[in-house]
Structure 1
């Protein structure tokens, strides 16, 4: 059972336990390097890294926009860095055995990583730490991912085992298959349905793949099948909420959408942070740093929800009645405004009232961003029953406005998928996507 442990910690940083086995001279060796990958020594000297390069305590590994790196530490731990990451080796000590003197202290300064743990920290978890700007993570023999959403927000997911995520507000146990988000030092870590993704997925060389096999299996539990027949709702900083139909979709093993082909228009994931989630293999949602379109134009802060839209015949087959959908039975992306500030979709609900060939909808979205709370409401007056819809008049009652694009998903309309863009009064526009279930 997950439990929140309310105790103060003096460390204001995010700390993960990662282990490190003795490779003759260095703390770690690169098993894989692609694109722009460099190391900055403690003295400030910059050097290029390739497969086989060694790392020492005091080094900082830096990956460029297309750079990826995978490190094997001397205690058997593996760390895979996504593009545009900075990972610093603060202190490292391992004499080939667990004798109480082993140390592995690291900092994730930027970007994201995936890791499989090794020997350091197994006997004494305090001997291994990875710090970020907002919390402390203790491992218990596991595989997990960590990624910055913004400079003060970190998203975390556990593949195998359990991790303990702590900051000054308290601690949270995140078990296998679960995800959490940490916003600053003073807000308690919380569970979320959206998992951070290392984007693009790192290709593993044949001699490295066995080391990651157990962790990779834990990332292949998703149920979104690649292929045709999907409909996608999406929004971004440069596009209002809208729909793309007849989509052929490509998903990775963690249900992250990688490519959507809607015929004339296509959408491809760009380098950077990403997150994803899904329910029952029926509906998926996610966020990309940006989408690249068929004409090479870019849609920054791209949020989507995708699924096989309910047919009109099946929607009609529901008959007359009122159906209530809520966020509690679905999931959502991390809402982010056009200034790059991340928030929380605190609530979401939709009531669908069907009568004959018509329907009436009422949508409510609760948001917290920049420490302010907003509730946006909107409705669709009785109209022809349809699997898709647009609500163009969301309002928070305080001069804030917005709109949403949505659809019913599943053979019996088990879910509603929406993309939205809302603008609190005198504040930047917030973009997100959500799946609501009934």
Structure 2
């Protein structure tokens, strides 16, 4: 058999693996313990651990992590969270992005980096009841206060929340909405300061200002 034919599958495999394994960011802070589900592997998380598209980040009770992506977006996960990186495409030269995450349980806070400065960023977080998207902002979402999804905008340009039953948009800091399974997102309301601070506290790490 031709030697080239023998090596071709190996070359294709190596090339494919390098594409799949593209590094898109790293863990910047860890409080307690956490892990990454990567295919069939479960990897411990430490500061500077590299993350890839397809990773699911998992924080148990007492664990929190913060990670930073290539565009300087920072995402913090509360304890008891499962958060997957489904897609991360960012092109600084063309000012384009296509980013998608999935929150299975728990809560997160995201502060967008360069992607949030783009005219038409594509940056979404999918959940079982609705999808959240940003227009350049600092926002929080999670299943902490009840079985429903709560979302609030801490600062920025806006956050939209949509599902098959409807869509709302948060346009001012402190506004929030609640989404129950099988229902349209609830009316936009200004959150009481106590609720806002409770949400922020779930994703605050020791030493945060």
Q: Give the TM-score of the pair, scaled to structure 2.
A: 0.77
Q: Hey, what's the Cα distance between the residues in 1 that align with 2:44 and 2:55? A: 12
CA contact (8 A) 1:37 1:61 kept: yes
Q: Distance in 1 between matches of 2:202 and 2:107?
A: 11
State yes or no: 1:166 paired with 2:162. yes
> How far, CA to CA, are the matches of 1:30 and 1:105 in structure 2?
18
Cα 1:204–1:98 shift into 2, 3 Å: farther
| Unpaired segments ≥5 residues, structure 2 | 1-21
Distance 1:153 1:55, change over 3 A: same
Cα displacement (A) at 1:93: 2.3
For residue 62 of structure 1, report the CA deviation from its aligned partner.
Answer: 0.2
Which of the residues 27, 31, 50 maps onto 2:24? Answer: 27
Structure 1 residues 188 and 94, CA gap change in structure 2 (3 angstroms): closer
Residue 144 of structure 1 pairs with residue 146 of structure 2? no
Aligned to 1:86: 82
The 5 Å alignment of 1:203-242 reads 203=205
Q: Name the counterpart of 1:202.
A: 204
Alignment partner, residue 97 of structure 2: 102
CA contact (8 A) 1:30 1:71 kept: yes
1:176 aligns with 2:178: no
CA–CA distance in structure 1, aligned partners of residues 200 and 40 of structure 2: 28
Distance 1:89 1:201, change over 3 A: closer
Following superposition, which runs of at least 4 residues in structure 1 exceed 6 angstroms of deviation?
Answer: none
C-alpha distance in structure 2 between counterparts of 1:155 and 1:57, whole Å: 26
Distance 1:202 1:149 in 2: 14
Distance in 1, matches of 2:177 and 2:152, equals: 6
Verify the 8 A CA contact 2:54 2:87 in the aligned structure 1.
yes
Q: 2:64–2:205: 8 Å Cα contact kept in structure 1?
A: no
User: Alignment partner of 2:83: what SS?
Assistant: strand
Q: Which has the higher contact order (CA 8 A, sep 6+)?
A: 2
Across the aligned residues of Structure 1 and Structure 2, the Cα RMSD in angstroms comes to: 2.3
Q: Do residues 73 (structure 1) and 75 (structure 2) align?
A: no
Helix, strand or coil at the partner of 1:197: helix
What SS does structure 2 have at the residue aligned with 1:76? coil
- Residue 171 of structure 1 aligns to a residue whose secondary structure is strand
Q: Higher strand proportion, which one?
A: 1
Gaps spanning 5+ residues in structure 1: where? 1-24, 210-215, 217-438
* 1:83–1:199 Cα contact (<8 Å) kept: no
Could you tell me which of 17, 33, 38 is aligned with 2:35?
38
Q: How far apart are residue 88 of structure 1 and its match?
A: 0.2
Q: 1:392 corresponds to which residue?
A: none
Greater share of residues in helix: 2
Q: Post-superposition shift, 1:185?
A: 3.5
Partner SS state of residue 145, structure 1: strand
- Higher gyration radius (CA): 1
**In structure 2, the residue corresponding to 1:27 is in which secondary structure?**
strand
The C-alpha deviation readout for 1:12-42, integer Å capped at 9, x for no partner, is xxxxxxxxxxxxx62121110121210010x
Whole-Å separation in 2 of the counterparts to 1:60 and 1:201: 17
Q: TM-score, normalised to structure 1's length?
A: 0.38
